[in-house]
Structure 1
């Protein structure tokens, strides 16, 4: 990542990059912390790409899961190195990338073929293409083959309208002690997920609204921002025991 003030650009090593401040030749062996000059003498700092940068610089095919919701998924499920994760509703791929950067391997399903291709490109940008398999299709259509031919997964993450159909098979898809995490923008969908999870015997089923307020600090004092309330959706978590 090349940074100058509030400007940020993602550039591959070895590429030539042009801005209104001049042309940059990015060396193949460039390292974070170096300073590069354009042909006009303007300087850019080289910074290593980190997880939060992905949210801002991935090519988007819709509204991606925001970092605070990704953090809740990672914290609630404990995804870590060596885990296998089944994901559905890839979209931009932010969640899959974060999970893979935590050390897990991911199989993720995206119905839209064009969106799936963009997600594959985003995984390459994130440096996790070798740990994320983006499959084009609906995970609900592959449930039988997943149960029959795949080893059980450690974590199941869902951001799809047919999540209850997948949750119904969670006891077969997950290892003992594995987690399912379902994100939904609507509470009615979350209720259906909760009911299904309880019916199939998942334990510790709980739903939280994901909401966060920023703080304003000025000469008058400090208080929560009066900007619109930061609601994004509902996260349901359950465990296979």
Structure 2
């Protein structure tokens, strides 16, 4: 099923995921199967009542409750898909794609694939992705999530420690979501194509500072660290105010470009 990668149009079909939205804006991610039903605390919705409908249609559940039916966005899938590790939030995924300047045809080495959220964003941007992951259970979850959302995709996951080296270069981008990315920096220098970009996602500023020091030592240039804070607003008639809850700090994004070749790393 390649609806996420290619952009599916037309009636909803068995085998694809849909988003059901109730009257209170609660969202449910459902994989359509003929003869099955989606159960909620307020009754159920027959999948057969959804199959064949167009996105944007409404269906009624067994208790008369209305549901809006849509094809999910990548952000919907990331927040609701099966997880092995904590996923990167959609607000950070978009920033990562821009900071790493990921585009069609690029070769990307991703280390720490977790549940596959970042992998899906990279693949949707048109990249070819090779993933390194230490845990077999995380790797399997990531591969299943990618296959369910994108179908056949240029994606391979290897069980190995990226801190011990990177094979198969040159890569246009190296993207890291792991606790000690500074161990990877010397290998990334060798694996990246000239001018390639290294990007790492880290939860704490202490880790980020250690990474930036390693990037400086190994000649990365145009280094930058940023975080993304997302605040939604409540707008209803004359009631206009920031929402009481927001997704604030989730992680620091640090990027840098491979600089000119050096005979020896600079002194820290």
Q: Same fold (TM over 0.5)?
A: yes
Aligned to 1:209: 227
How many residue pairs are counted as aligned between the two chains? 236
Using the alignment, how far apart are the partners of 1:27 and 1:95 within structure 2? Answer: 30
Contact between 2:60 and 2:67, CA under 8 Å: does it hold in 1?
yes
Q: 1:194 to 1:58 in 2, by over 3 A?
A: same
Query: Which stretch of the first structure deviates more once superposed, 98-107 or 168-177?
Result: 168-177
Does the 8 Å CA contact 1:24/1:38 hold for their aligned counterparts? no
Q: Distance in 1 between matches of 2:70 and 2:131?
A: 29
Q: Does 2:187 correspond to 1:169?
A: yes
Coordinate RMSD, CA, aligned: 2.9
Aligned position for 1:52: 75
Stretches of structure 1 that go unaligned for 5 or more consecutive residues are none
Give the drift of 1:172: 1.2
1:195 to 213, 226, 229: 213
- Tell me, yes or no, if structure 1 residue 158 matches structure 2 residue 183: no
The change in CA–CA distance for 1:52 and 1:226 in structure 2 (over 3 A counts) is closer
- The superposition leaves residues 117-139 of structure 1 with CA deviations (integer Å, 9 ceiling, x where unpaired) of 11111111221552221222322
User: How far did residue 228 of structure 1 move?
Assistant: 7.1
Find the aligned partners of 2:247 and 2:32 in 1 and give their Cα distance: 38
Correspondence list, 1:1-241, <5 A:
1-5=18-22, 6-12=26-32, 14=34, 16-19=36-39, 20-25=43-48, 32-33=55-56, 44-141=67-164, 143=165, 146=167, 150-215=168-233, 224=242, 227=245, 230-241=248-259
> TM-score, structure 2 length as denominator?
0.76
Structure 2: stretches of 5+ with no match in the other structure: 1-17, 260-268
1:15/1:89 Cα in 2 relative to 1: closer, same or farther (>3 Å)?
farther
Classify the secondary structure of the residue corresponding to 2:250: strand
